[in-house]
Amino acid sequence: MTTQTSNNDHGIPQPVKIFTWVLICAGLFFAYVYTFNPSLAFPGAKITDYSSQFGFASTGVRVLGSVAALLISVLYNKPQWPLITLISRLVIEVGDIIVGFATGGAMVNNIMIGVIAALELWAILKLVRLGR
């Protein structure tokens, strides 16, 4: 009798793993930026009132949560875990792009978020194919 093994038994594909490490490193940087120094990413940001401080800090925490999920996924090498995290991130990135365009935000930010979203979609498709 032969046993069937799924592609999921082989772990996360190397290109997706590398991309995930890039997201982790970038995420740590942006968690710091949003939480402690938003003017690095948004030169005109005024964070003098409570709602601005809370908004930036909560975004930093959201990014940090995503980083933690990606880190756990890579360390345990389970393809299903980054798949779920990347789908969640893709939804957030698309929302950020919509909000950016709706509020007339910086064009460079929207383009960079779009590039990240496209790469996340690529990684999602690689992981979905792995599960077949």
Domain ranges of the chain: 12-130
b/e string for 36-68 if b means 16 or more Cβ within 10 A? eebeeeeeeeebeeeeeeeebbebbeebbebbe
Overall pTM surpassing 0.85 (yes/no): no
pLDDT at 14: 95
Q: Output the pLDDT for position 41.
A: 77
Q: Cβ(119)–Cβ(19) under 8 Å? A: yes
The closest alpha carbon to 86, from 101, 100, 67, belongs to 67
Each residue's pLDDT tens digit, 75-120: 999 999 999 999 999 999 999 899 888 988 767 888 889 999 999 9
Residues 6 or more apart from 91 whose CB is under 8 A from it?
Answer: none
Contact 39, 45 (CB under 8 A): yes
- State the pLDDT at residue 52: 85
Question: Quick one: pLDDT at residue 1?
Answer: 47
Q: Which residue has the higher pLDDT, 106 or 125?
A: 125
pLDDT at 122 over 80: yes
**pLDDT (tens digit, 9 = 90+) per residue, 10-58?**
799 999 999 999 999 999 999 998 888 888 877 777 778 888 889 889 9
